[in-house]
Structure 1
C-alpha cells in the first residue's frame, strides 16, 4: 500500500490541495451568503448592475428590476430572464482557483493568474448574461438549449482554456516538463 502512495503521490497531493481549497473557498462563500440580510448578496447585485451598464454601453436597452431574491432582466419592455445568486459566476471562479492552486506555480505568478483569470471569468459572465437576455427575447422556445447548454459550455470552456494555459505555461508541472 505504501508503494502506491509513493507512486501516486503527485496525483494525491493534487487531489488533496484541490478539494481542500475548494471546500475552504465554498465554506467562506456560504458564510458570506449567510450574512446577506436583504435577500440578494452584493456580488449578485454587482453582476446585475454591470449587466445593465454593459448592455447600455453597446446600445442594448436592457433594464434590471430588483425583486426580493433576484433581479428581473427586461429587454424591449419584456421580462426575459432573472439574475439569481447562481448567476454571479462565483462557484465557477472557486472551481478555477482550486484547480490553479492545486497545480500551483510561483506565488506571484499564481496570484496574478488567479486574479486575472477570475476577472476574465467575471467579465465573460456579465457578457454572457447580456447576450443570453437578448437571445431569450428572440428565441424564448430555446431557453433550455441557450441557458442550459450553450452558455455553460462557453463559460466552462473559457475556464478549461485558462486551466490548459496555466498547466502548460505557468505551473510547477510546466517548468518540470520544459527542462
Structure 2
C-alpha cells in the first residue's frame, strides 16, 4: 500500500488540493449567496452585473433589451425586442465555472506569480466569454426559438466548458510544476 501511495503521490496531491480548494471556494460562494439579500443588487451582485452587461451588449448590437427583476424567483427576466426570452439566474454568472477553473490551476500550480497571473487572466477570459455566450445565446433564442434546447443545453455549455478545458491543457503543458518535473 505504501508503494502505491508513493507511486501516485502527485496524483493524490492533485486530487486532494483540487477538492480542498473547490470545496472552500464553493462554501465561501454559497455563504456570499446566502448573505445577498437582493436589496441593492438583485438577485446578487455578480448575477446582476452579468445581466446589466448582457443588456448593454444586446442594445449595442442594435436590439432593444430590457431587464426586469423576476417577481417569483431570484433572477432577471430578459426581454428582447418585446419578447420575453430568458431569465438570467445565479448559474449564468460564471462564478461556479471560475471556481472550477481556479481549483484546477491551484492544484497544478506553477511559480506563484505565473499561477496568480494565469488565474486572474483566465478568470477574466472566462467571464468575458461567458458574457458573450449569454448574448449570442439570447440572439439565437430570439431568431431560432425552435432550437432553444440544443442552444441552451448543448452548444453553449460546450463552448464555455470547452474553453476552460483548453485553458487547463495549456496550463499543464506550459506552466505547471508537473510539466517541469517531466521535462
Q: Which runs of 5+ in 2 are unaligned?
A: none
Distance 1:51 1:77 in 2: 16
Could you tell me which residue of structure 2 aligns to residue 78 of structure 1? 83
Out of 138-147 and 78-87, give the one that drifted further: 138-147
SS of alignment partner, residue 16 of structure 1: helix
TM-score by length of 1: 0.95
Counterparts of 2:60 and 2:174 in 1: how far apart (Å)? 34
Q: Which moved more, 1:49-58 or 1:30-39?
A: 49-58
Within 5 A, what are the aligned runs for 1:9-20? 9-20=9-20
Structure with the greater relative contact order (CA < 8 A, sep ≥ 6): 1 or 2? 1
Separation (CA, whole Å) in 1 of partners of 2:66 and 2:180: 48
Corresponding residue for residue 110 of structure 2: 105
Would you identify which runs of 4 or more consecutive aligned residues in structure 1 move more than 3 Å? Answer: none
Aligned position for 2:94: 89
- What is the aligned-residue RMSD (CA, Å)? 1.2
Greater displacement, 36-45 / 119-128: 36-45
CA offset at residue 62 of structure 1? Answer: 2.2
What's the offset of the Cα at 1:106? 0.5
Residues 62-105 of structure 1: per-residue CA shift (max 9 Å, x gap): 22222241111111110111100111111111100000000000
Structure 1, unpaired ranges of 5+: none
Which deviates the most, 48-57 or 95-104? 48-57
Give me the whole-angstrom Cα distance separating, in 1, the residues matched to 2:155 and 2:9.
37
Aligned to 1:55: 58
Give the equivalent residue in structure 2 for 1:64.
67
1:1-179 matches, within 5 Å, as 1-38=1-38, 40-68=43-71, 69-178=74-183
Deviates more, 1:60-69 or 1:118-127: 60-69
Distance of 2:145 and 2:62 partners within structure 1: 21
**Structure 2 CA distance, aligned partners of 1:96 and 1:118?**
8
TM-score normalized by structure 2?
Answer: 0.93
**What is the DSSP-based 3-state SS (H/G/I as helix, E as strand, rest coil) of the residue aligned with 1:73?**
strand
**How many angstroms apart in 1 are the aligned matches of 2:57 and 2:182?**
42
Which whole-Å CA distance do the structure 2 matches of 1:59 and 1:162 have between them? 32
Deviation at 1:137, TM superposition (A): 1.2
In the TM superposition, residue 9 of structure 1 has moved relative to its aligned partner by 0.4
